[in-house]
Amino acid sequence: MSRPDIVVIGGGPAGAATAWHLATAGAAVVLVDDGRVPWRSVGQQLSSSALARLRVLGVADRLTAASTAVHEARSSWAGPEVDHRSSLLSPYGPPWAVDRAALDELLRGAAQDAGARLVRARVGAAARPDGRWDVVGADGVDRPVPVVVDATGAARAVSRGRLRWHAADRLRCTVWQARPADPGPQPWSLVEAAPDGWWYTAPSAAGERLTVLQVQDTADRAVSVPPPRTTARLAADPLPRPVARRAAMVGCAGPPWRSGLVAVGDAALCVDPLSSSGIRHALDLAAPAAAAAQGLLDGDREPAGVYERLVHAAFGRHLSDRQQFHAAATRYREAAFWSRRR
Ligand SMILES: Cc1cc2nc3c(=O)[nH]c(=O)nc-3n(C[C@H](O)[C@H](O)[C@H](O)COP(=O)(O)OP(=O)(O)OC[C@H]3O[C@@H](n4cnc5c(N)ncnc54)[C@H](O)[C@@H]3O)c2cc1C
């Protein structure tokens, strides 16, 4: 490939899938990722409906072979009793506990196989007066490019300050990997409300550890004791050192594009980790984002308008589901975390 038409910055699920769609459609595309593996030791849950997208990209079987199926979702939310939901009722099958680093690597490989050129670099993009972009720091991208895709996740490294951002919430997350009290198989997730937020535990991709996530208000700095059902699931008391601390934004770009720039994934739409649907949204919106980028390259803004409507519809649905979930946690309704979100 001599000169790329489109540079996708960020090689997480959103960027890799968008690059795959662009390359498959014949665009000259470069995918740039800084190789930081931001989710190295953090397990995440991949919703079952996302598997259909991964199948199209040819990576579903390799991913599930290295992941753990989560056959049941348990929740202790409205009251102390536990609600059990079997994934047997899901037409898509169970969700999967996945190794995020492995998922991202598979997706970047698929984009390369489709014809995208992968460059490992941390880059910036500067807008030129002629509307094109200088991509600074990527080997082989030494000429201005007409279209850039911001897939840098919540960092929004290119679109911050260039696309308007509507923030609905900001959360503080702490993640641990811990041993389960019961060494047997643990093919279930548990989400449990606590006075200062909520806790989530699920098997890790390899199955022998648990991923533990605490989500609080950004105003809360201290890690509190896990609530009873979560504590009973863990062997260690207190928990070991966290493997990650993350801010989680709930918000969306409006609109998620402008001339020569398209934002995708968390850079366009950030959902609450409670929904375990960030990866699915990133994959769902990759094809319309790729069409938007190709349209801007060809001087056609219509696909960008379609993409914008899809992003905003997804955000609207998410906010409505989220509100219902928060309203259902009635036992702590007076506590600050819950009353703020109500
Ligand atoms: C605590 C927490 C738990 C979550 N749990 C789940 C879950 O269980 N299931 C789920 O579906 N979602 C979950 N999410 C959401 C999910 O992580 C995101 O929605 C998803 O990672 C978005 O993918 P992305 O490709 O947009 O961004 P990212 O995954 O953040 O990828 C961005 C990539 O861009 C690279 N990059 C950044 N800046 C540059 C630059 N300047 N140059 C080059 N490369 C750059 C980064 O290194 C990274 O590889 C969770 C989020 C949080 C905060």
In a domain, 114, yes or no: yes
* Residue 265 Cα to ligand 1 middle (Å): 8
What phi and psi, each to the nearest 5 degrees, are found at residue 47? Answer: -65, 145
pLDDT higher than threshold 80 for residue 295 = yes
159 lines ligand 1 (CB under 6 A): no
19 lines ligand 1 (CB under 6 A): no
pLDDT of residue 41: 64
In a domain, 116, yes or no: yes
Summarize pLDDT for 178-199 with one digit per residue, the tens.
999 998 888 999 999 999 999 9
> What is the full DSSP assignment across 193-253?
EETTEEEEEEE-TTSSSEEEEEEEETT--S--PPPHHHHHHBS-SS----SEEEEEEEEEE
The token pair that represents 106 in the structure block: 């598979």
pLDDT of residue 2: 58
* Residue 194 Cα to ligand 1 middle (Å): 26
pLDDT higher than threshold 90 for residue 120 = yes
> Which domain covers residue 38, as residue numbers?
6-70+97-167+251-323
Domain of residue 261, CATH code = 3.50.50.60
What mean pLDDT do residues 33-50 have? Answer: 84
Which of 52-56, 100-104, 152-156, 217-221 is the least confident region? Answer: 217-221
pLDDT of residue 206: 86
In a domain, 300, yes or no: yes
pLDDT of residue 1: 55
- What is the length of the chain? 342
* Residue 81 Cα to ligand 1 middle (Å): 33
**Prediction pTM value:** 0.97
Summarize pLDDT for 273-292 with one digit per residue, the tens.
999 999 999 999 999 999 99
How many structural domains does the chain have?
1
What mean pLDDT do residues 303-312 have? Answer: 98
pLDDT of residue 139: 82
In a domain, 46, yes or no: yes
150 lines ligand 1 (CB under 6 A): no
In a domain, 207, yes or no: no
pLDDT of residue 3: 77
Q: Which of 18, 33, 104, 107 most suits a substitution to test ligand 1, by most atoms within 8 Å of the C-beta?
A: 33
In a domain, 84, yes or no: no
Residue 40: band (very low, low, confident or very high) from pLDDT cuts 50, 70, 90 = low
In a domain, 266, yes or no: yes
Residue nearest to atom 15 of ligand 1 (CA): 278
The percent of residues above 90 in pLDDT, for the chain, comes to: 81
pLDDT higher than threshold 90 for residue 296 = yes
- Count of beta carbons in the 10 Å neighbourhood of residue 291: 21
What mean pLDDT do residues 169-174 have? Answer: 95
Residue nearest to atom 18 of ligand 1 (CA): 278
In a domain, 242, yes or no: no
